[in-house]
Chain A
Amino acid sequence: EAGVTQFPSHSVIEKGQTVTLRCDPISGHDNLYWYRRVMGKEIKFLLHFVKESKQDESGMPNNRFLAERTGGTYSTLKVQPAELEDSGVYFCASSQVQLGNTQYFGPGTRLTVL
């Protein structure tokens, strides 16, 4: 069974540009989460989808971040326009509550904003 996949693995962009990160959860997992780790800090929650609906977006830093999950399958996280402080590693995770809600993480996308 394929795990959580994320694309791209690395992205380097200039301040003010737009970047879109993609996450493909484990097949059949209704719950999809985005997290972020910035340098020197702990991993922090951004938002949670249940199928295509946003269940909790309390961790989104500001309105420059837009997450979507069309059709309840893969998800995208767009940052527009990117700022220097957006640099970090963005992780996606998925889970199925009926299976104890273990969250399975993808390898992350390392975003560098110059």
Chain B
Amino acid sequence: KQEVTQIPAALSVPEGENLVLNCSFTDSAIYNLQWFRQDPGKGLTSLLLIQSSQREQTSGRLNASLDKSSGRSTLYIAASQPGDSATYLCAVISGGSNYKLTFGKGTLLTVNP
């Protein structure tokens, strides 16, 4: 059974700092991994999707890496801004799972001005 863990559970940083959010999964046979952002009371916004054959994906100030063999992914946020404050969720689709996502509990990020 796939399990996804995100560390830390909460993170508070000053504006401008570069930061890394961590995600680990127990079964390395994944189809893809997706990072989401959730603002309070809102739905999930897809940030980046990494296919199992890829090592990283970039979008603007965000860079996500994937190391399948060690069961880890990181989300790097450069030059953080107060608008980046949100909960960041990592989710994987396990191979042969009919595309269902298994989520971690998320990291609550606060960027202080």
Contact = CB atoms under 8 A, between A and B. Distances in A.
Contacts of A103: 34, 46, 99, 101
A54 B43 CA distance: 24
A92 to B, nearest CB: 9
A57 B51 CA distance: 24
A25 B20 CA distance: 32
Interface in B57-113: 89, 91, 93, 97-106
Given A33-B99, A42-B4, A55-B98, 15 more contacts: A33-B100, A43-B101, A43-B103, A48-B99, A55-B99, A97-B99, A100-B49, A101-B31, A102-B49, A103-B34, A103-B46, A103-B99, A103-B101, A105-B43, A105-B45
Main SS class of interface, B: strand
The residue among B46, B98, B105 with the most chain A CB atoms within 10 A of its own CB is: B98
B98 A48 contact: yes
A105 B100 contact: no
Interface string B37-52: 0000011111001010
A104 interface: yes
20 contacts: A35-B103, A42-B4, A42-B105, A42-B106, A43-B44, A43-B91, A43-B101, A44-B103, A48-B98, A48-B99, A58-B100, A91-B43, A93-B44, A93-B101, A100-B51, A102-B46, A103-B99, A105-B43, A105-B46, A108-B43
